[in-house]
Amino acid sequence: MQDTVWIVTVVLMASAAGIFLWVATTAENGAEDSGPLVASLYRLRPWLFALALVVIIVSNYKALTALPYVSRPGIGPVQAVNVLGEQWSWTITPDHVEAGRPVEFHVSSKDVNHGFAIYDERLRIVAQTQAMPHYVNVLRYTFTEPGTYRILCLEYCGSNHHAMATEITVVAAGVQPGEAR
Amino acid sequence: MTTQTIDTRKQPLDALNAVYAYLVVAGLVLLLMMLIGLIMRMAQAEWFALDPGLFYILMTMHGAGMVGIAAVGGSAIMWHFVRRYVRVSTGAFLANLALFLLGALCILGAGFVGGFAAGWTFLFPLPAISGDAWSINAAAAYLVGLLFIGIGFLLFYLDVARGIIASYGSLANALGVKQVFGLAPEKDGPPAAVTASSMVLIVNTLGLIFGAAVLVLSLVNLYVPSFAIDPLVAKNMIYFFGHVFINATIYMAVIAVYEILPIYAHHAWRTNRVFYLGWISSTVMVLIAYPHHLLMDFVMPTWVLILGQIISWCSGLPVALVTAFGTLTVVYRSGIKWDTASGLLFAGMLAWITGGIPGIMDSTIPINGVMHNTLWVPGHFHTYLLGMMAMLLGFATFVTKERSSASDYGAAPIGFWLYVIGSVVFVMAFLAGGSASVPRRFAVHLPEWLPYDRLGALGGTLIVSGTLILVLVALLRIYWDLHTPAERR
């Protein structure tokens, strides 16, 4: 997902910059009477508004069908994992799960706010939620690839925040940790 | 309603000096904070070693200092222009600056003497639970410093509100509500500076009240730990205050675009029904978009988070279709002669629009799940804030040039290009890093992340160089204006 978001963002930012640059570089050649030109631009605005509205409705509808908060049926029984953050370590029980089956991380904190982020072996975030004192956030995720996943803290939590890291192991279905994949 | 204009070009010296005082403080603090930011980026790039404890102190100072100075700079712009239309108090304006300096002293002391490093957002209960990195008193000094700054701004906004209500009858009239509902002709509508100022003081007064409340609660908790706040409620209050306060800075700064760019383009800014509707909707949306900061707090009511996403998308509409569109139409084929001031204002507007794009992306819940608290977020708000600072630098260049015939010896355009090119490199390095899942607020980076850091540090160096030139030019012109007899100008 990150690559798509990056490309769309760069294209949109570059398009906006292109329009501004074009207006800026042509502006010094002033029109005799820019009134009619400007009026024609203003006639364009309702159409731009309509276009923006369509983009907003379609994008938001699509996004709302993929909320991480809603439980969806998965293949096989759910694997429950308890996660507790504290300055500056994670306690994760159990620390291994099976790929292909949904995992429910029950995430909380013993002291301050932390961020529970799961990184794959390419160092890309696959899912995250906040770890808060007094609250349990339930993060549902199904790993598709076996491997070693890093857990990093993504909410600033004090002077050793960057070192608050651990790992979880995702094994292929039916394989015990330590066995060959 | 009165639309009487007060010509501030014939303004009393104390008012002009007050604006100069703001510009001097803003310029110097901006440079200092940029330098701190550059040191952090260079340390992440491993160009030199920096103790992580010191990194987080610098990070806290940089965040609080930049937010504060953006607000100081924005206030200078807002006050300078709104007082052309309403009567405001120079004393209240200067009291705000004095309280800012007092608060800044407390914050700097908390950080550099007390070692306070809980981040500018002081998320509860981190100020009280430092892992022995700082004392309770250091945390208290920071929170009290923010309170001083908040009180100053509240005083400033209340004074402007008093002036606007005295001239326009109500804040609703100043927002152009009558024009929107067809109860009064568009031509009798309030000037853009008055409408924008009204929006800002409404949202920021509410933001500051919530901010002050959570600051006081956190302060009491420091010394009476049994007096605990719900961490989720505290988080909501902090992000409401922080979101509103930082957003307001650019809504203040854009007044410079409304007032100055038409002078260059010889083309008036159209304040019509759509304009007022845009600002009224921005007033509401800035207040209710803040849940996009809490999208990874799954225990929040889901409808609030969905609202945060939808409002964040919609909040781009008035910015794009009223202010950015208006900027383009004012400039389009106008015969404008570009200089550093007009260029900075125009570039600032472009940065506002382009900075909004990654922000809207990140406010989309499934995207936030993989982008939240990565470098994507500073990529978004640095684009936005570099735009705000471009407007401030454009304003400073314009005001000081208007008053002084001192030459800049060709330095200002060099400053402009260093600033613009540096900004592009700097923010794209952040965004690219964010798309590669590099976390924000990490003192130490993995080797895989260093290319983004090094590119960012390079861009940051260019920005600091450009800003140094632009600030020096403005300061020298202020000095020249204040020390040259009128007959020699």
Q: Do B333 and A30 touch (CB under 8 A)?
A: yes
**A139: nearest CA in chain B?**
B298
Which of A117, A130, A156 has the CB atom closest to B297's CB atom? A130
What pLDDT, on the 0 to 100 scale, is given for residue B4? 47
A113 and B265: CB-CB below 8 Å?
Answer: no
Strand order in the sheet with A114-119: A96-98, A165-171, A147-153, A114-119, A125-131
pLDDT higher than 50, residue B2: no
Q: Which of A13, A40, A118, A160 to mutate to test the interface with B (most CBs of B within 10 A)?
A: A13
Judge whether A47 is closer than 8 Å to chain B, CB to CB. Answer: no
The span from the CA of A12 to the CA of A76, in Å, is: 41
Q: Which residues make beta-bridge pairs with A142? A: A102
* CA angle, residues A41, A44, A48, in degrees to nearest 5: 130
Six token digits for residue A158: 């004090």
Partner residue opposite A5 with nearest CB, options B306, B325, B371: B371
- pLDDT of amino acid A43: 86
pLDDT tens readout for residues B23-75: 999 999 999 999 999 999 999 999 999 999 999 999 999 999 999 999 999 99
DSSP state of A87: T
Q: List the single residue in B274, B317, B358 with the smallest CB-CB distance to A9.
A: B358
Summarised one tens digit per residue, pLDDT across range A48-63 is 899 999 999 999 999 9
A69 compared with B98, residue with greater pLDDT: B98
Relative orientation angle of helices B340-362 and B376-403, to the nearest 10 degrees = 160
- Could you tell me how many CB contacts below 8 A there are between chain A and chain B? 232
A19 to B439: CB separation less than 8 angstroms, yes or no:
no
Of A70-79, B337-346, B403-412, the range with the highest mean pLDDT is B337-346
Strand partners, A98: A171
Percent of residues, chain B, with pLDDT higher than 90: 83
Q: Does A180 touch chain B (CB under 8 A)?
A: no
Task: Identify which has the larger pLDDT, A111 or A29.
Answer: A111
Instruction: Verify whether the Cβ–Cβ distance B302 to A2 is below 8 Å.
Output: no
Report yes or no: B157 and B146 within 8 Å, Cβ to Cβ: no
* Contact flag A30-B334 (C-beta cutoff 8 Å): yes
Mean pLDDT of chain B: 92
Q: Say if B10 is an interface residue toward chain A (CB within 8 Å).
A: no
Q: What φ, ψ does residue A116 adopt, rounded to 5°?
A: -95, 105
Q: How many helices (H) and strands (E) does chain B have?
A: 17, 0
Instruction: Please identify among residues 88-127 of chain A the ones whose CB lies closer than 8 Å to any CB of chain B.
Output: 88, 111-113, 115, 117, 119, 123-127
Task: Give B190's pLDDT tier (boundaries 50, 70, 90).
Answer: very high
Q: Is B325 on the interface with A (CB under 8 A)?
A: yes
Phi first, then psi, for residue A159 (nearest 5°) are -70, -10
Which pLDDT score is estimated for B487? 59
The verdict on A58 touching B (C-beta cutoff 8 Å) is no
- Is residue A97's pLDDT more than 80? yes
Q: Which of A12, A48, A63 sits opposite B365 (nearest CB)?
A: A63
Judged by a CB distance cut-off of 8 A, whether residue B303 touches chain A is: no
From the CA of B258, how many Å to the nearest CA of chain A?
Answer: 17
Chain B from 46 to 75: CB within 8 A of any A CB: 52-53, 56, 59
**Statement: residue A177 has pLDDT above 70:** no
pLDDT in tens, B98-150: 999 999 999 999 999 999 999 999 999 999 999 889 999 999 999 999 999 99
Query: Is it the case that residue A73 has pLDDT exceeding 60?
Result: no
The amino acid occupying position B404 is: S
Q: Which pLDDT score is estimated for A33?
A: 67
**pLDDT tens track for B141-169:** 999 999 999 999 999 999 999 999 999 99
CA distance A123 to chain B (A): 7
Q: Which residue of B has its CA nearest to A38?
A: B329
Question: B233 at the A interface (CB within 8 A)?
Answer: no
ipTM higher than threshold 0.90? yes
B53 neighbourhood in chain A, CB within 8 Å = 159
Query: What CA–CA distance (Å, rounded) separates B190 from B184?
Result: 11
Q: How far apart are CA A32 and CA B130, in angstroms?
A: 66
| Residues of B with Cβ-Cβ distance to A64 under 8 angstroms | 306, 309, 365
Q: What is the pLDDT of residue B266?
A: 85
Interchain contact, B435 vs A6, CB within 8 Å: yes
Report whether pLDDT(A104) > 60.
Answer: yes
Query: Rounded to the nearest 5°, which phi and psi values hold at B404?
Result: -135, 140
First to last CA, chain B: 39
Q: Report CB contact under 8 Å: B231, A133.
A: yes
Question: What pLDDT is stored for residue B320 in this prediction?
Answer: 84
DSSP conformation class of A162: G
- Cα-Cα end-to-end distance for chain A: 27
Contact across the interface for B125 and A133, Cβ inside 8 Å: yes
* Residue A178 confidence class, pLDDT cut points 50, 70, 90: low
CA distance A13 to chain B (A): 5
- CB contact under 8 Å between B373 and A117, yes or no, is yes
Residue B8: per-residue pLDDT: 46
- Say if residue B3's pLDDT is above 50: no
Calculate what percentage of chain B has a pLDDT beyond 70. 95
Q: Find chain A residues with C-beta within 8 A of B331's C-beta.
A: 23-24, 27
Residues B190 and B220 sit within 8 Å (Cβ to Cβ): no
